């Protein structure tokens, strides 16, 4: 009698075993989830965005069981981790084992974010504000700005700590674009920090952009109650 083949879901592309930079004030590892619903032209992780997973949730849990003396938390990144339907159950397992859980997201799946927030499955969120509405498609090759808005509003109404960050490639975004984003956040009542990450890598990108060392000047942006913090 033929045995039915068991298909194991492998959503995780790879694991970075240790980071001091990706979870504020915590030691953590990063689980890179395969696949994304955006095609940001500056993206320098085409292997993760376009590739397939190599490790299952069980593989990740086994890895973490060996790291309990070294790590405080787990960063769920990508790609876009919220595209994976098994994420809430995986987060439940992580929380049951005592891990702090941070999610990096493009904000395109507010339904998943609402589930994670409602059930207390995450401790910190980094939300990417990719571009102002008028440039969102040009930068992300997607029409998901309204989904991003929904996720932002969810986070602003909730109790989970979160940050907003923007990757700036100087050929795509300029000071006036940052001004539009800051003005938008101010109108929404946001009073936190907007973290700026300049793209300075000389590497292959999804949009085949040229490498750049150029930077924009956040000092030219009037930011009112919002603090602009440059991370590089």
> What is the CATH number for 60?
3.20.20.70
More confident residue, 61 or 208: 61
Identify whether 6 is part of a domain.
no
CB 22 within 8 A of CB 88: no
- Lowest mean pLDDT, pick from 83-92, 96-105, 130-139, 164-173: 164-173
pLDDT recorded at residue 7: 54
Q: Give the range of the structural domain holding residue 160, as residue numbers without chain letter.
A: 12-230
Is residue 156, in this structure, part of any structural domain at all? yes
Tell whether 4 is covered by a domain. Answer: no
At 137 the pLDDT is 98
> Nearest 10 degrees: CA dihedral of 92, 81, 20, 139?
-150
pTM: 0.94
**What token pair was written down for 123?**
């401790």
> ω into residue 201 within 30 of 0, thus cis?
no
Residue 192 is assigned to a structural domain of this protein: yes
Residues of the chain with pLDDT > 90: what percent?
82
Q: What is the pLDDT of residue 214?
A: 80
* Six token digits for residue 55: 């490790």
Largest distance between two CA atoms of the chain: 72
Question: Is the pLDDT reported for residue 35 higher than 90?
Answer: yes
What per-residue confidence (pLDDT) applies to 215?
86
Q: What is the pLDDT of residue 124?
A: 98
The residue to which tokens 């808005």 are assigned: 149
- 62 lies in some domain: yes
What is the structure's pLDDT at 210?
73
Average pLDDT over residues 69-93: 97
Tokens of 173: 């975004």
Residues 60 and 10: their CA atoms lie apart, in Å, by 10
* CA distances to 22, 103, 186, 189, 224 from 227, in Å: 19, 22, 11, 13, 8
| Count of other CB atoms within 10 angstroms of residue 203 | 10
Do residues 197 and 231 make contact, with C-beta atoms less than 8 angstroms apart?
yes
- What tens digit of pLDDT does each residue of 103-149 get? 999 999 999 999 999 999 999 999 999 999 999 999 999 999 999 99
| Residue 158, both tokens | 């909730």
Residue 43 located in a structural domain: yes
What pLDDT was estimated at residue 42?
Answer: 92
Does residue 3 form part of some domain? no
CA–CA separation, 154 vs 165, rounded Å?
16
pLDDT digits (tens, 9 = 90+) for 181-223: 999 999 999 999 999 999 877 778 888 887 677 888 888 998 8
Query: Please, are residues 84 and 57 in contact by the beta-carbon 8 Å criterion?
Result: no
Task: Give the model's confidence band at 90: pLDDT under 50 very low, under 70 low, under 90 confident, else very high.
Answer: very high
In a domain, 157, yes or no: yes
Q: How far is CA 114 from the centre of its chain?
A: 16
> Domain total for the chain?
1
């Amino acid at each position: 009698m033929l045995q039915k083949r068991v298909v194991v879901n492998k959503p995780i592309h790879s694991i970075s075993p240790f980071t001091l930079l990706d979870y504020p004030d915590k030691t953590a590892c990063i689980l890179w989830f395969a696949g994304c619903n955006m095609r940001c032209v500056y993206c320098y992780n085409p292997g993760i965005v376009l590739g397939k997973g190599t490790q299952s949730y069980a593989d990740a849990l086994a890895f973490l069981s060996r790291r309990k003396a070294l790590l405080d938390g787990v960063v769920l990144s990508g790609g876009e981790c919220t595209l994976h339907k098994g994420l809430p159950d995986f987060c439940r397992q992580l929380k049951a084992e005592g891990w702090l859980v941070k999610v990096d997201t493009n904000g395109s799946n507010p339904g998943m974010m609402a589930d994670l927030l409602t059930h207390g499955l995450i401790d910190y969120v980094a939300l990417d504000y990719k571009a102002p509405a008028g440039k969102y498609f040009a930068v992300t090759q997607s029409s998901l700005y309204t989904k991003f808005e929904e996720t932002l509003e969810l986070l602003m109404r909730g109790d989970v700590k979160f940050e907003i960050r923007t990757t700036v490639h100087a050929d795509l975004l300029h000071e006036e674009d940052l001004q539009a984003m800051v003005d938008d956040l101010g109108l929404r009542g946001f009073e936190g920090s907007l973290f700026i990450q300049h793209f300075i890598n000389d590497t292959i990108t999804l949009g085949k952009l040229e490498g750049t060392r150029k930077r924009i000047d956040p000092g030219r942006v009037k930011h009112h109650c919002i603090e602009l913090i440059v991370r590089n």
